Chains A and B, each alone.
Chain A
Amino acid sequence: MSENLIVPTMAEMLAQGKQPEVLFWVGCAGSFDDRAKKITKAFVQILNRSNVSFAVLGTEESCTGDPAKRAGNEFLFQMQAMMNIEVLNAYEAKKIVTACPHCFNTLKNEYPELGGKYEVIHHTEFLKSLLDDGRLTIEGGQFKGKRITFHDPCYLGRANNVYEAPRELILKLDAELVEMKRSKANGLCCGAGGAQMFKDAEAGNKEINIERTEDALETKPEIIAAGCPFCNTMMTDGIKNKEKEGDVKVMDIAELIANAQDL
């Protein structure tokens, strides 16, 4: 990292009497997982470069409750939701961006009924709007002509019908976007959703992430693009299992954009 990241918190903003344009919901993976932290930083670099006024909750952020809800623990989910909503509403948050489709889905769809009504967007949609508004410019750079396939996260794609924003960003890199046989609404899960990330799989004859990695490898990609920290982990593990880590990289869309800009 060549530059220092500027990451204001909502508390600091409030102290200065300011309200950021957008609240960046980092999420648990983005905060703690070593691989996902890189995605977080890449996204912040782009935000800094594009002079986006944003802030994070920092230590006031807590799990959205998504994995608890999908595991069936509605109590824990709603406890988390109510606590987070209290914090978000106290800061009068209006617009939230997140790099995790699970946080995105939960904040966007399940919080409103519990009193948390915000405009919630996924970071790929946000990056696309920065491009459209001319606040961010990218040239293909090192990704020009590279074969990139995009793995649709279930909670971004099927769950919320966001298919185009990440693809348009890849095309902006002058890369060759190649689709897997199962993509968009027919995309195959990476195997992490529904709290599977935190447990062993039931007995079967294959791991789901291996099945999905094979889909991706069939397209002979140089890069597998992801839009979810959990998908990223699953696909990275799949690539390692196939001993392809020398040939194929798994990268988040935010990392692609940040690297293209050579930030």
Chain B
Amino acid sequence: MSYLDNILFAILLIFGFGYFYGSVKKIRRNINLGTAVNRYDNPKARWANMAMIALGQSRMIKRPIAGLLHVIVYLGFIIINIELLEIIIDGLFGTHRIFAFLGTTYDVLIASFEILAALVLIAVFAFWSRRNVIKLKRFVSSDLKGWPKNDGNYILYFEVVLMTLFLLMNASDLHLQNVPGGFSHYIKAGFFPVSQFIEPIFNGLSNELVMVLYEVFWWLHIAGILIFMNYLYFSKHLHILLAFPNTYFADLHPQGQFDNLESVTKEVKLMMDPSADPFAAAPVDENAAPAKFGASDVQDLNWVQLLNAYTCTECGRCTSVCPANITGKKLSPRKIMMDTRDRLEEVGKNIDVNKGIFVPDNKSLLNDYITPEELWACTSCNACVEECPVNISPLSIIMDMRRYLVMEQSAAPMPVNAMMSNIENNGAPWQYNQQDRLNWKNEN
């Protein structure tokens, strides 16, 4: 064999991983546009959370049908990728089934890859039907018009193609292994519980032709994997990687605990300090960013919220349990995440074309993507947070944007303003005198 194959393979690999590295760098840069938040505390609980939710899929299986199907595809993804190691070694060094020396272990491995590949095909067909035939509500909602809908299907087609190529590759290999007296370098190796049923399709073809077909399947399979890997960045499918950091860096506080804005604490403490000089010049803090309360654009959100946006795979479980959405309001927690990612991508592209600097584009996440009407429909019930299989919090983004509306723009709905002035004036959301707080004691 000439070295042309190996060189070609190395080039393919370098190009595939090189382009992917570029995308990863872009994602990192964009996520780091977010503000700081400390999520490095308590590593033990964080690893445990990741093990349970990302690795263990504990929240996926809350919906048994989708959960089971997903676990199949997930296991297929993880386990079949072991095969990738062999493919890469074979490709680089011109070997064939380098791990065949493992004997029985190898048989078990190949057999489990095959069974998983078949199960993945079945699961993918079920997923496709749920989107395109059964038309489950969360897959046909207005959030998914256009690209998101196609994207969802493309990913499924990709998986069908990859699994089929994998099985065809094995079937043609098996066909050559079975040639009486052996054929070329196709040694007896592996056990093929699924592709043995595909193998007969090669009957009647010349061994040389089957060998060419094997090579074609082999190359298309690895090329397909590299293309799919690079497709991730352009699709909703990044969750297969980001689910892990996303669950690790999740907010581990009780869901009811919203963060207390530190910048506000400072101001409030100053206001309540009787010894503070009201006319003193504000202390100069070199590192202080210009004070802005809440979020109107992606750069005001913290980096975990931006990581959330890249991690979202648009499954829509959040929206399907949102009380506002269920009752016909415009709010859709999934759309909050999709909008955040779309805007972040837009800001990222702006930075790319302007040589590393963001040039204001007169747009923002608020209004151009997410309207106040959506934000005010939220009941802060945490159903979306509870439901997300990968610990995304649409609620935290909604709250930060409300903070901007209220504290920067004084743009709360009138009755909410009335409620707030009541609290300010008489310590209750209604117009009752604080001095009457104990009157109930003597009422009948």
Residues of chain A having any CB pair with chain B under 8 Å: 1, 5, 7, 9, 26, 28, 30-33, 37, 40-41, 56, 58-59, 61-63, 65, 67-76, 78-80, 82-83, 105, 108-110, 113-114, 154-155, 158-161, 185-186, 188-189, 191-208, 210-212
For window 258-306 of chain B, which residues contact chain A by CB distance below 8 Å?
258, 260-261, 264-265, 267-269, 271-272, 293-294
Q: Which of B18-26, B140-148, B197-205, B412-420 contacts the other chain?
A: B412-420
Most chain B beta-carbon neighbours within 10 Å: one of A78, A193, A197, A212: A78
**Which residue from chain B places its CB closest to the CB of A26 in the assembled complex?**
B437
Tell me which residues across on chain B come within 8 A of A198, comparing CB atoms: 415-416, 418-419, 429
Q: Which of B114-122, B163-171, B227-235, B325-333 contacts the other chain?
A: B325-333
Residue pair A67, B328 in contact (C-beta under 8 Å): no
Residue pair A211, B327 in contact (C-beta under 8 Å): yes
Tell me which residues across on chain B come within 8 A of A211, comparing CB atoms: 323, 326-327
B173 nearest CB across to chain A (Å): 48
A207 nearest CB across to chain B (Å): 7
Beyond the given A33-B430, A74-B264, please list 12 additional residue pairs across the A-B interface where CB-CB is below 8 A: A73-B406, A74-B403, A78-B261, A79-B268, A80-B423, A82-B272, A109-B257, A160-B254, A188-B381, A200-B413, A202-B329, A202-B376
User: What bracket does the count of chain B residues touching chain A fall in?
Assistant: 35 or more
Tell me which residues across on chain B come within 8 A of A56, comparing CB atoms: 438
Q: CB within 8 A of B257: which of A110, A191, A201, A203?
A: A110
With A56-B438, A79-B268, A202-B329 as known contacts, state yes or no: A154 contacts B381, CB within 8 Å: yes
Tell me which residues across on chain A come within 8 A of B423, comparing CB atoms: 63, 65, 67-68, 76, 80
Tell me which residues across on chain A come within 8 A of B424, comparing CB atoms: 76, 79
Tell me which residues across on chain B come within 8 A of A110, comparing CB atoms: 257-258, 260
Tell me which residues across on chain A come within 8 A of B378, comparing CB atoms: 194
B407 at interface (Cβ–Cβ under 8 A)? yes
Residue pair B256, A160 in contact (C-beta under 8 Å): yes
What are 19 A-B residue pairs whose CB atoms fall within 8 Å in the complex? Answer: A26-B437, A28-B432, A31-B438, A37-B440, A63-B427, A67-B419, A67-B429, A72-B399, A72-B402, A78-B261, A82-B268, A82-B269, A105-B256, A108-B254, A154-B381, A198-B416, A200-B415, A204-B324, A204-B328
Residue pair B427, A189 in contact (C-beta under 8 Å): no
A194 nearest CB across to chain B (Å): 3
Residue pair B256, A72 in contact (C-beta under 8 Å): no
**Which residue from chain A places its CB closest to the CB of B442 in the assembled complex?**
A5
A208→B325 CA distance, assembly (Å): 10
A189→B439 CA distance, assembly (Å): 31
Tell me which residues across on chain A come within 8 A of B380, comparing CB atoms: 70, 154, 193-195
Q: CB within 8 A of B294: which of A28, A72, A113, A199?
A: A72
Residue pair A191, B418 in contact (C-beta under 8 Å): no
Which 4 pairs show the lowest CB-CB distances between chains A and B? A159-B256, A72-B402, A194-B380, A205-B328
Residue pair B402, A155 in contact (C-beta under 8 Å): no
CB 8 Å contact bits of B372-406 with A (1 = contact, 0 = none): 01001111111101100000000000010111111
Q: CB within 8 A of A31: which of B264, B331, B401, B428?
A: B428
Residue pair B293, A74 in contact (C-beta under 8 Å): yes
B443 at interface (Cβ–Cβ under 8 A)? yes
Residue pair B377, A73 in contact (C-beta under 8 Å): no
B434 at interface (Cβ–Cβ under 8 A)? yes
Residues of chain B having any CB pair with chain A under 8 Å: 253-258, 260-261, 264-265, 267-269, 271-272, 293-294, 321, 323-324, 326-331, 373, 376-383, 385-386, 399, 401-407, 412-413, 415-416, 418-420, 423-424, 427-430, 432, 434-441, 443-444
B408 nearest CB across to chain A (Å): 10
Residue pair B437, A78 in contact (C-beta under 8 Å): no
Residue pair A159, B327 in contact (C-beta under 8 Å): no
Tell me which residues across on chain A come within 8 A of B419, comparing CB atoms: 67-68, 71, 195, 198-199
Residue pair B329, A203 in contact (C-beta under 8 Å): yes
A54 nearest CB across to chain B (Å): 13
A101 nearest CB across to chain B (Å): 8
Tell me which residues across on chain A come within 8 A of B329, comparing CB atoms: 201-204
Residue pair A73, B327 in contact (C-beta under 8 Å): no
Tell me which residues across on chain B come within 8 A of A202, comparing CB atoms: 324, 329-331, 373, 376-377
A192→B324 CA distance, assembly (Å): 11
Residue pair B379, A109 in contact (C-beta under 8 Å): no
Tell me which residues across on chain B come within 8 A of A72, comparing CB atoms: 294, 399, 401-407, 412
With A32-B432, A195-B419, A202-B373 as known contacts, state yes or no: A74 contacts B427, CB within 8 Å: no
B54 nearest CB across to chain A (Å): 19
Residue pair B420, A158 in contact (C-beta under 8 Å): no
B24 nearest CB across to chain A (Å): 34
A63→B401 CA distance, assembly (Å): 23
Tell me which residues across on chain B come within 8 A of A32, comparing CB atoms: 428, 430, 432, 436-437
With A73-B420, A202-B373, A202-B376 as known contacts, state yes or no: A194 contacts B381, CB within 8 Å: yes
Tell me which residues across on chain A come within 8 A of B403, comparing CB atoms: 72-74
Most chain B beta-carbon neighbours within 10 Å: one of A32, A110, A113, A211: A32
With A7-B438, A62-B427, A205-B327 as known contacts, state yes or no: A159 contacts B379, CB within 8 Å: no
**Which residue from chain B places its CB closest to the CB of A155 in the assembled complex?**
B256
A41 nearest CB across to chain B (Å): 7
B436 nearest CB across to chain A (Å): 8
A69 nearest CB across to chain B (Å): 6
